[in-house]
A and B are shown apart, each in its own frame.
Chain A
């Protein structure tokens, strides 16, 4: 299994500011994924973070709004830029093993005022 740690666990931010969420995996992994869970909703993939190359974004998500870094095989960051109240969500980091397991961090709960 993989243990995935995220920081911060929660934050309250002002409109127009940016916040960077960190994700640390306890082992080296090829792919890391960032998901968003809006209040009362299911999860939606934002992007796949590739080590050594640009992240791959899903439809509806753009790099300017959600820049991602992946400096090594155990760490990634997601920045939520120029935040608005609509960005209030839980942001979750995910990664998996070669046997098909996909694990999630505890999530970063973001409230934008």
Chain B
């Protein structure tokens, strides 16, 4: 079935860039998402990208999509201690509002001062 894989842990120094990687198997996924989950909180939508794009930038966040390799990455520039959280990659299975999200296991980002 459909699968999304992420590395489980990333540690960076404050001020450095963080890159979180994700691979997915469903080549028909029309949208791919990055969510942030802080302890005890729900999921915050950080950004998403349509499958016909290869890059999307939003302030400190840059998403790169390699559709051929089914690889998605999230780059956080100038990482801050407040960025410490779990980051989930998700692929939309199906189309539009009728689809479901397949989530990766989540990457725990640790930002050291």
B24 close to chain A: CB less than 8 A: no
Q: By the criterion CB–CB under 8 Å, are A104 and B42 in contact?
A: yes
One of A71-79, A81-89, A92-100 at the interface = A92-100
CB distance from B4 to the nearest CB of A (A): 8
Within 8 A of A (CB), among B65-113: 88, 90, 92, 96-98, 100-101, 103-106
A31 close to chain B: CB less than 8 A: yes
- In the complex, the chain A residue whose C-beta lies closest to that of B41 is A106
Q: By the criterion CB–CB under 8 Å, are A45 and B100 in contact?
A: yes
Q: By the criterion CB–CB under 8 Å, are B33 and A102 in contact?
A: yes
Q: Given A45-B101, A98-B97, A104-B35, are A92 and B106 also a contact pair (CB < 8 Å)?
A: no
Q: Given A42-B88, A43-B88, are A101 and B45 also a contact pair (CB < 8 Å)?
A: yes
B43 close to chain A: CB less than 8 A: yes
A48 close to chain B: CB less than 8 A: yes
- In the complex, the chain B residue whose C-beta lies closest to that of A95 is B97
- In the complex, the chain B residue whose C-beta lies closest to that of A58 is B100
Q: Which residues in B have their C-beta under 8 angstroms from that of A107?
A: 41-43
Q: Which residues in B have their C-beta under 8 angstroms from that of A103?
A: 45
Q: By the criterion CB–CB under 8 Å, are B45 and A102 in contact?
A: yes
Contact of B97 among A35, A43, A96 (CB under 8 A): A96
Contact of B42 among A48, A100, A106 (CB under 8 A): A106
Per the bound structure, the CA–CA distance linking A102 and B50 in Å amounts to 13
- In the complex, the chain A residue whose C-beta lies closest to that of B105 is A42
Q: Which residues in A have their C-beta under 8 angstroms from that of B41?
A: 106-107
Q: Which residues of A contact B (CB under 8 A)?
A: 29-31, 33, 35, 41-45, 48, 58, 90, 92, 94, 96, 98, 100-107, 109
Can you list 23 pairs linking A and B with CB atoms under 8 Å apart?
A29-B97, A31-B97, A42-B88, A42-B103, A42-B104, A42-B105, A43-B90, A45-B100, A96-B97, A100-B30, A100-B31, A100-B48, A100-B92, A101-B45, A101-B48, A102-B31, A102-B48, A102-B101, A104-B42, A106-B41, A107-B41, A107-B42, A107-B43
